[in-house]
Amino acid sequence: MDREFFRCDTLNELFNIGVKRAADMLSEIVHRKVSLQIPKIMVSESEEKRLKLGEQFSGPFDGALMVSTISFQNSLNGKANLIFPADKIKKLVALCSAEGIFPPEDIAFTDVDFDVVREIGNIILNCILGEISNLVDLHLVYDLPRVVVYNRIDFNQDIGREKDHSVMILFVTFLIDNTEIEGAVIIDLAVESYRDLLRLLDGIEAGI
Amino acid sequence: MDLVSREVLDLLNLGILIVDETFKICFQNRFMKKIFVKNKIPPQCSSLPELIPGFSSPYFQMSLMDAIEQGHGLFFSAALHETLLGGREKYNIRVNRFLEDGEKRLLLEFTEVTDSFERIRQLRENISELRLLNQELKQKERSIQRLAYYDHLTGVANRALFYEMAEKFLYAAERNREILGLMFIDVDNFKQINDTYGHEAGDKVLVQVSEILTAATRRNDIVARYGGDEFLILLPQIKEPDNYKIVVSKILRAKRDALVSNGVSVKICLSFGVSFFPQDGCSVDQLIVKADRAMYVAKQQEGDNCYYAAEDHHETGPFINH
C-alpha cells in the first residue's frame, strides 16, 4: 500500500510539473491566464481498480468526446490521450483563439476546432510525457497528435479489450480566466512498459 | 541533402523549411520562398527567428528546443498563431526531427489553411443571417398572432380569441361540473364622451377600461373587447355564482377618472350584466344574450350598476361598500 502510495505521489508530482509547464505555454499563446490542475490521478493496476476507474470516468465523460492522441514508442510504448467532452470544445476553442465568444447556434466542429485541440493536446501531452521521459531518463519517439471525435466511449469495454495494457487517468481542470473546463488525460501503456515505469519509480523510492 | 531530395521537396505544394540545432536555415523549398515573397519576408535571412520573428517567443523557443532535444513532434495551429507570418494567409505548421549525417535537423511543414478559415467565416455569416431571418419570422408570427387574437386599440382579447377561449372553458366546465361566469360590461354615456371630447378621448376611455378590467380579474380570466364600448369577461372555475361580486367590487373600487384632454378628466361609469353556465344557458351565445339583457336592465339605473337576473335585484354603487 505504501509503495502504491509512493508511486501515485511521484506520478502526481511529475504530472503536476508537466501541466504547470503546459499552462505557462498556453497562457503565453492565448494571452489569458491559464491554469491547469490535476485533482485526481487513478491507475488501473488490478481488474477491480480498472472497473472502478471506468465508473469514475464515465460520470463526467458520458457523451460525445473529442480526443487528441499522441503515440510514443521506444523505451516505453503506448498512447497518451487528452480528452474533452465535445460540448465543451466550442467554449475551449473560443477562449483560446482570437474569437473570444462563439454564437450559440455554432455547434458543428470545424477544421479550426480540430487544429486548436490538436495543438493544445500537443502542448499538454508533450509536457507530461517529457517529464516522464526526463525522470526515468528514457528516450521516447513521439508521433504528431491525431484528433478524433467519438460519439461515446465505453471505457470498461475499451480498456477490458486491452488486457495487456495498463491505464493511468489524470483528471485535468482547465481554468482559463474564470472559466473552468474539465478534461482528462489517459495514458495507455503496454503492460511491459508499465512494469518498466513502476520499476523505475520503485528505484527512485529505493534511492537507486 | 542530395539533388533529388531537393527537387522532390521543391515539387511539394506546402512550404518546407529545414533548420539545424541552432535554428539556422539549411533549406527552404520553392513554395516556402513564395510564402516569404507574399508576406514580404526577406528570404536571405539565415536563422529561423530572424526570418519569422514570432519564432523567437519563449513558447516557440521552448517547443523547438524540446523538438530538437527530445524529439517531440510539434503542431502549431493557424488559429492560435494568426499573426506569425504577418500576412493574410494562414498556415498550420508541423515540426518533426530527423537526423542528417548524425546531425539533428528540424523539418517544418507550412500547410496553407486560408481557405478553411474563409469557408468557416462564410458558414458563420450564413448561420448568423439565418438566425436573424428566423428571429424576424418569429417576430412576424407573433405580430400576426396578436393581430388575429388581440384588440388593436386596447390590447385585450378580441372576439375571435374570446370565442375560442369561451368554447374551451365551456367544455371544461361541462366536463368538470364547474360554474363558468360571463360578465357583459358597457361604458355608460360613451357616445356622449365621444361627441363632447372627440374620438381620441373615447379611445383613451376604452384603454383605461381595459386596464381596470384586466387588473381586477384573475390571471386565467379572459377580458375581451366585444365591440365598440362593450367588454366581456369570462370567469372560469368560480366556486359560487356570488363570487362575481368580488370582481365587480374590484372594478368599481379602481380609480376611474380618465384624462381625456388637457386638464379635463371624466369619471368612467360602467354597467354590468352577468350570466352563468349551466343555469343561464348551455352555449356561449346563450350566456352572452343573458348577460347582455342583464346589463341592459342595469343600464336603466344611474351609473355603476350590476344586474343578475336570477337574483332579480341590482347591485349598485353602494354595494361596493358591503
Interval B183-203: pLDDT, tens: 999 999 999 999 998 899 999
Q: How many domains does chain A have?
A: 1
- Beta carbons within 8 Å of B25's beta carbon, 6+ residues apart: B17, B18, B19, B45, B46, B47, B48, B51
B248: Cα separation from own chain's centroid: 37
**Residues B211 and B294 reside in one and the same domain:** yes
Q: Three-state SS for B10?
A: helix
Is the confidence at residue A170, as pLDDT, over 80?
A: yes
Residue A112 is nearest to which of B76, B120, B127, comparing CB atoms?
B120
- Domain boundary (B85, B112, B139) is at B112
* The predicted structure's pLDDT at residue B246: 92
**Residues B174 and B315 reside in one and the same domain:** yes
Share of chain A above pLDDT 90, in %: 12
For residues B70 and A148, give the distance between their C-alpha atoms in angstroms, rounded to a whole number. Answer: 25
pLDDT-based confidence at residue A46 (cuts at 50, 70, 90): low
* The predicted structure's pLDDT at residue B190: 92
* The predicted structure's pLDDT at residue A55: 67
Is the confidence at residue A91, as pLDDT, over 60?
A: yes
**Residues B300 and B209 reside in one and the same domain:** yes
Q: List chain B residues with CB under 8 Å of A18.
A: none
Q: Chain A within 8 Å of B293 (Cβ-Cβ)?
A: no
Half-sphere exposure of A149 (CA within 13 A, CB side): 16
Residue with cell 473529442: A66
Average pLDDT, chain B: 88
Q: How many domains does chain B have?
A: 2
Q: What angle do CA B32, B33, B38 make, to 5 degrees?
A: 95
> Does the residue B137 lie in any domain?
no
What is the 3 state secondary structure string of chain A? CHHHHHHHHHHHHHHHHHHHHHHHHHHHHHCCCEEEEEEEEEECCCHHHHHHHHHHHHCCCCCCEEEEEEEEEECCCEEEEEEEEHHHHHHHHHHHCCCCCCCCCCCCCCHHHHHHHHHHHHHHHHHHHHHHHHHCCCCEEECCCEEEEECCCCHHHHHHHCCCEEEEEEEEEEEECCEEEEEEEEEEEEHHHHHHHHHHHHHHHHCC
> Does the residue B140 lie in any domain?
no
Q: List chain A residues with CB under 8 Å of B93.
A: none
For residues A25 and A30, give the distance between their C-alpha atoms in angstroms, rounded to a whole number. Answer: 9
* The predicted structure's pLDDT at residue B174: 95
Residue B184 has φ and ψ, to the nearest 5°, of -110, 125
> Does the residue B148 lie in any domain?
no
Structural domain of A134: 2-206
Q: Chain B within 8 Å of A140 (Cβ-Cβ)?
A: yes
Structural domain of B303: 154-321
pLDDT-based confidence at residue A158 (cuts at 50, 70, 90): low
Total Cβ atoms within 10 A of residue A64? 16
**Residues B212 and B263 reside in one and the same domain:** yes
> Does the residue B141 lie in any domain?
no
pLDDT-based confidence at residue B322 (cuts at 50, 70, 90): very low
CATH code for the domain in which residue A182 is found: 3.40.1550.10
User: CA nearest A74 in B: which residue?
Assistant: B71
> Does the residue B120 lie in any domain?
no
Q: Chain A within 8 Å of B301 (Cβ-Cβ)?
A: no
**Residues B182 and B266 reside in one and the same domain:** yes
Q: Chain A within 8 Å of B79 (Cβ-Cβ)?
A: yes
Q: pLDDT tens digits, residue range B78-88?
A: 989 988 888 78
> Does the residue B22 lie in any domain?
yes
- Are A171 and A81 in contact, with CB atoms under 8 Å apart? no
* The predicted structure's pLDDT at residue B264: 82
Q: Three-state SS for B297?
A: helix
* The predicted structure's pLDDT at residue A53: 64
Q: Chain A within 8 Å of B66 (Cβ-Cβ)?
A: yes
Is the confidence at residue B314, as pLDDT, over 60?
A: no
**Residues B84 and B169 reside in one and the same domain:** no
Residue A108 has φ and ψ, to the nearest 5°, of -80, 140
Share of chain B above pLDDT 90, in %: 59
C-alpha cell read off for B297: 336592465
**Residues B173 and B99 reside in one and the same domain:** no
**Residues B90 and B168 reside in one and the same domain:** no
**Residues B9 and B72 reside in one and the same domain:** yes
Total Cβ atoms within 10 A of residue B258? 22
Average pLDDT, chain A: 80
Q: Chain A within 8 Å of B57 (Cβ-Cβ)?
A: yes
Give ipTM to 2 decimals.
Answer: 0.82
DSSP for B255-296, please give it.
Answer: --EEEEETTEEEE--EEEEEEEETTT-SSHHHHHHHHHHHHH
Is the confidence at residue A155, as pLDDT, over 80?
A: no
**Residues B192 and B314 reside in one and the same domain:** yes
For residues B78 and A94, give the distance between their C-alpha atoms in angstroms, rounded to a whole number. Answer: 14
CB contact under 8 A, A103 and B124: yes
CATH code for the domain in which residue B63 is found: 3.30.450.20
Q: Which of A8-12, B53-57, B71-75, B214-218 has the lowest mean pLDDT?
A: A8-12
User: CA nearest B126 in A: which residue?
Assistant: A106
